[in-house]
C-alpha cells in the first residue's frame, strides 16, 4: 500500500517510484516538507527539496537503523544529485510497524 501526499510534484513522485522499485514496501508514505524549510540552507524557491519518508518493507529485516538509512539514500542517489537536499527516514520491518501501530 502506498500512501503518498497527494500534493507531490515530480521529485516526490520519483522518490516514491524509486522506493517502490527498490524495496517493494508494504507501506510507503512520502511527505514533501519543503514549505517548512523556506529560507533554510538547501531550500529551493520551487520547493521539492525536503522530504520525509515512512517505509515498511521486508527488505529491512536484519539491518540496523544506519544500514536502512544508507539503503534508502543509495536508492535515491539520482534524486540527491538532482537537488534533493534533506530526507528524514523512518524505515521499519513489517514486524516493527505492527508493534507501533
Q: For residue range 17-33, list pLDDT tens digits in order.
A: 999 999 999 999 999 98
Q: Where are the domains of the chain?
A: 10-100
The Cα 101–Cα 66 span in angstroms is 22
Q: Is 49 left (phi over 0), alpha (psi -120 to 50) or beta?
A: alpha
Q: Phi/psi of residue 55, each to 5°?
A: -135, 135
Express each pLDDT in 46-89 by its tens digit. Answer: 667 889 999 999 999 999 999 999 999 999 999 999 989 899 99
Hey, which residues does 31 pair with through a beta bridge?
Answer: 52
The Cα 15–Cα 85 span in angstroms is 13
CATH superfamily of domain region 10-100: BolA-like (3.30.300.90)
Amino acid at each position: 500500500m502506498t500512501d503518498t501526499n497527494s500534493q507531490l510534484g515530480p521529485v516526490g513522485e520519483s522518490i516514491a517510484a524509486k522506493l517502490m522499485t527498490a524495496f517493494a514496501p508494504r507501506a510507503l508514505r512520502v511527505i514533501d516538507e519543503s514549505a517548512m524549510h523556506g529560507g533554510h540552507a538547501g531550500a529551493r524557491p520551487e520547493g521539492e527539496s525536503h522530504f520525509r519518508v515512512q517505509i515498511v518493507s521486508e527488505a529491512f529485516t536484519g539491518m540496523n537503523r544506519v544500514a536502512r538509512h544508507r539503503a534508502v539514500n543509495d536508492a535515491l542517489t539520482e534524486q540527491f544529485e538532482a537537488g534533493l537536499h534533506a530526507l528524514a527516514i523512518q524505515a521499519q520491518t513489517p514486524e516493527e510497524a505492527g508493534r507501533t501501530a
